[in-house]
Structure 1
Amino acid sequence: MGSFTFVPHRYPEEPGCYLMFDRTGRLLYVGKAVNLRRRLCSYFHSKPDWIKVAQLVEEVADIEIMIVRNENESLTLETNLIQYYLPPYNRAKKRERSVFAYIAATQEKLPRLTALDRERQAPRTQLSGADELIAGPFPNPVFRNYALDFAIDWFKLRTCAPLEKRLCMRYYMEKCGGVCEQMETGEQYADRFREAMRLLSEPAKVPEEMEKGVSRLSERLQFEKAKELHVRLTALRSMLSEQAVNIPRDYHQLAVFFGPVYLLAARIDYGMLRTRFVWERTDWGERPEQIRWLDRLVSLLPDKGRVEVVTNDFIRSEPLVKAARIRGVSAKAVVPVKGVKRHILNLCERNMTYRVELECQAAASLEDESVSILPIDHSRKLPDGP
């Protein structure tokens, strides 16, 4: 094992992501955990089962964590961080695209449901075309695909393009109404299509309908299909868990929580928290030339477009808003009291509290040499990403 000394009590028993660095400050690996302390102990208190894991542990010189509220949030944040930083020890999820996931209807007499993706950086005009937007954006493409497949089968909608001239296998599998050979009328098909549209417009209700589907399949003794649908139902419910680190938006945000001595900021690109927290002291003085943290936060702002500063202190965030406007960026500050914006601010507060506690422990260790706690290096910086 390398020179890194793992101290379990430095890490909370909470869900979140952990970032492992080497001695040069290079990010090696990003992982997630429901219990951060327990997960990290598995690296250092037992012999690694894989050669790659052993190599990783040998190179680790520091670990940084980002606390979140639940497992779904940790999974989403892990994906965001991996796609942004591309750590060498993370292979999965690097190639996934970051998109807004929609469902659209084809412009046909008997329309079909199709998946439609839009790049987060692309304008809304990208959606204009031959298809009519129905529902979205969904929490992620996987959720959208599960909901789309279920809606097509549950409401027996056609998938053939062009329209078949005879009954296909989907009809005999009871997954299509057979409108191609007038086994049902166009009006009946249109009614079911509208029902599918209503369901997909409220993603939270999709699991309820899927549960009905599981019961119906079980009553018909189609247990294998019921099991398969139940697996997807479980996955969808986990994806619907409340999370604030990947919320589709068309603008940038900077969440800043001000404490008495420190601030903690999170840059959010098009609704995605995908970079490390910024952690700075704030007790340098009140005049703008004395606000040393301001330069650090200004460096997080986009070069153009719109940015929203989500903060707990409107007055102290004013210099940041003014600096953004000087750069030609449209900026405003908001102080949320509830909703997703409040949730992301609460994440900043929780992570700041954790770091303050570590600082207090480090200060106490100077007075008590029997307590072995490693100091935190806040000077290390990562590149801005690929």
Structure 2
Amino acid sequence: MIKFTFNPKEYPPRPGCYQFFDRNQNILYVGKSKNLRKRLGSYFYKNEHSPRLKELTSQISDIEVILVNNESESLLLENTLIDHYRPPYNLMQWRADIGFPFIVQTDEPFPRFLPFFRKRPNTPLGDTPIRKYYGPYLNSNFRNEVLDFINNQYKLRTCNSLPDEACLRYQIERCSAPCENRISEEDYFDTVRKADNFLAQNRHTEILTVMKNRMEYLANQLAFEQAEKLRLQIKTLEKALEKQAVDRFVPYDQFMLFFEGNYCLVTEFSRGCLLKMDFHHLQKNGSSEPIEKFLLELLTNTSPPEIITNLPYSFLDVAKQLHKIHGYEITFRPPQSEIELDQLRLCKMNFEYRLMKHR
């Protein structure tokens, strides 16, 4: 077997995830780094490696990277890739994985906001239907801080079922007591909409402001231990607030296509989670291939119901042909939200990297 030759110039010194492939194009290992060039170089330039690492590097036939904007994105993306592909050299990681924490809004007469994990039982939720998801959050501590903040700020109920009389939370002005009809269903829904707006717009910096004010108060009261503990917590939360575009909750699969010249980057999202990027050259036998023909070839075998592109076209003829093939409606559209624009920018960054590498 030909030994893989590592060229550091092919990998930028920026954050991202990397995948090691064997000669059969099976993924051996998934990792992350804030400096891909430096991290990947450590596998090939250091002499002292464990037997397991030597075994891994001896099998590498190819390396693919996905560039991201920050460490938060690389952590989320690594988790998604390991969970989906289950690489053999990530065995311990995917066995121990419980997924990232979320917040959910319940679908019931007086909705609640509750903690949620994708991959383990959610006892507080039980069989209650879910109306909306928020997240993921990088750690449970931050998610719980956000949850406590909105429940207290908007006086939302936290009880599993409505009791006969108001609890202590009402007495300390942290619940509006819908159980005793002290708030109408319409007014309660108004507070739910405000909480939803808070979460949807990621206004989490307001929580940090409250915590920083609390830290200053403790320091002025000479409670230095408590102030230091809060300072470290704030530092952790600030890290968790980094913007990310690799994982969101969408109830169906999507493709995102970035076109430029005779090239296209195809990015696959599985229910909002970035899974794969493929670079395509729209040229065969020396002549350019029409985009419509490329789309049909790409999507004939499998296609998600929604395809987001950077082109201002709906490709109605292609969509009709794919509908006949797959038996369900397929939509082409431009990005429609800020998070989708962020995802498209991420695609553009990876497109430019792969184009440079291709040339």
Fold similarity call, TM over 0.5: yes
Structure 2 residues not aligned, in runs of 5+: 120-124, 162-166, 179-187
Other-structure match for 1:309: 307
Q: CA deviation at 1:36?
A: 1.1
Give me the whole-angstrom Cα distance separating, in 2, the residues matched to 1:61 and 1:131: 47
Alpha carbons of structure 1 residues 113 and 310: separation in structure 2 relative to 1, 3 Å: closer
Aligned: 1:42 with 2:42: yes
- After superposition, give the CA deviation of every residue in 1:150-177 in whole Å (9 maximum; x if it has no partner): 6789999999999xxxxxxxxxxxxxxx
Other-structure match for 1:339: 338
Other-structure match for 2:241: 240
- After superposition, give the CA deviation of every residue in 1:123-181 in whole Å (9 maximum; x if it has no partner): xxxx7966997x8513336342343366789999999999xxxxxxxxxxxxxxxx75x
Q: CA deviation at 1:227?
A: 3.5
The share of aligned pairs that are identical, in percent, is 30
Q: CA deviation at 1:341?
A: 1.6
Aligned length: 328
**Among residues 135, 139, 144, which one is paired with 1:138 in the alignment?**
135
What are the equivalent positions in structure 2 for 1:1-386 lying under 5 Å apart? Answer: 3-90=3-90, 91-97=92-98, 101-103=102-104, 114-117=114-117, 136-140=133-137, 142=140, 143-148=142-147, 186=171, 188-190=173-175, 202-203=198-199, 204-205=203-204, 206-274=207-275, 276-284=276-284, 291=293, 294-302=296-304, 307-315=305-313, 317-318=315-316, 320-326=318-324, 327-336=326-335, 339-360=338-359
Alpha carbons of structure 1 residues 39 and 221: separation in structure 2 relative to 1, 3 Å: same
Contact 1:245–1:271 (8 Å) recurs in 2: yes
Contact 1:83–1:95 (8 Å) recurs in 2: no
Contact 2:66–2:350 (8 Å) recurs in 1: yes
Q: CA deviation at 1:264?
A: 1.0
Letter in 2 for 1:359: H
Give me the whole-angstrom Cα distance separating, in 1, the residues matched to 2:151 and 2:258: 45
Letter in 1 for 2:309: T
Give me the whole-angstrom Cα distance separating, in 2, the residues matched to 1:333 and 1:112: 35
Corresponding residue SS for 2:248: coil
Alpha carbons of structure 1 residues 117 and 10: separation in structure 2 relative to 1, 3 Å: closer
Give me the whole-angstrom Cα distance separating, in 1, the residues matched to 2:302 and 2:313: 20
Letter in 2 for 1:281: H
Q: CA deviation at 1:85?
A: 0.4
Corresponding residue SS for 1:215: helix
Give me the whole-angstrom Cα distance separating, in 2, the residues matched to 1:27 and 1:154: 46
Alpha carbons of structure 1 residues 7 and 320: separation in structure 2 relative to 1, 3 Å: farther
Alpha carbons of structure 1 residues 314 and 13: separation in structure 2 relative to 1, 3 Å: same
Give me the whole-angstrom Cα distance separating, in 1, the residues matched to 2:115 and 2:320: 41
The farther-off stretch of 94-103 and 4-13 is: 94-103
Other-structure match for 1:384: none
Corresponding residue SS for 2:93: coil
Q: CA deviation at 1:313?
A: 2.1
Q: CA deviation at 1:356?
A: 2.0
Alpha carbons of structure 1 residues 358 and 99: separation in structure 2 relative to 1, 3 Å: closer
Q: CA deviation at 1:4?
A: 1.3
Letter in 2 for 1:295: E
Corresponding residue SS for 2:244: coil
Give me the whole-angstrom Cα distance separating, in 1, the residues matched to 2:152 and 2:229: 13
Alpha carbons of structure 1 residues 347 and 298: separation in structure 2 relative to 1, 3 Å: farther
Q: CA deviation at 1:37?
A: 0.8
Corresponding residue SS for 1:145: helix
Give me the whole-angstrom Cα distance separating, in 1, the residues matched to 2:327 and 2:129: 36
Contact 1:280–1:293 (8 Å) recurs in 2: no
Contact 2:264–2:282 (8 Å) recurs in 1: yes
Alpha carbons of structure 1 residues 20 and 191: separation in structure 2 relative to 1, 3 Å: same
CA RMSD of aligned residues (A): 4.3
- After superposition, give the CA deviation of every residue in 1:236-284 in whole Å (9 maximum; x if it has no partner): 322322221112222322101122222111111221112x212222134
- After superposition, give the CA deviation of every residue in 1:287-334 in whole Å (9 maximum; x if it has no partner): 8899356333344424xxxx2211122448556533442212332222
Q: CA deviation at 1:14?
A: 1.9
Contact 1:19–1:30 (8 Å) recurs in 2: yes
Contact 1:16–1:68 (8 Å) recurs in 2: yes
Give me the whole-angstrom Cα distance separating, in 2, the residues matched to 1:331 and 1:246: 22
Corresponding residue SS for 2:3: coil
